[in-house]
Chains A and B, each alone.
Chain A
Amino acid sequence: IKQSLVSFSLFLFLFTELVDKCIGSRIHIVMKSDKEIVGTLLGFDDFVNMVLEDVTEFEITPEGRRITKLDQILLNGNNITMLVPGGEGPEV
Chain B
Amino acid sequence: MSLRKQTPSDFLKQIIGRPVVVKLNSGVDYRGVLACLDGYMNIALEQTEEYVNGQLKNKYGDAFIRGNNGNSSSLYYCSL
Contact = CB atoms under 8 A, between A and B. Distances in A.
A49 B25 contact: no
B77 A74 contact: yes
The majority secondary structure among interface residues of chain A is: strand
Interface residues of A, number: 27
A74 B11 contact: yes
A73 B18 CA distance: 13
The majority secondary structure among interface residues of chain B is: loop
Contact of B8 (A23, A40, A45): A45
A79 B71 CA distance: 10
B76 A73 contact: yes
A73 B15 CA distance: 10
Contacts of A73: 76-79
Interface in A5-58: 23-24, 31-33, 35, 40, 42-45, 49-51, 53-55, 57
Interface of B: 1, 3-12, 15, 25, 41, 72-80
Interface of A: 23-24, 31-33, 35, 40, 42-45, 49-51, 53-55, 57, 69, 71-76, 78-79
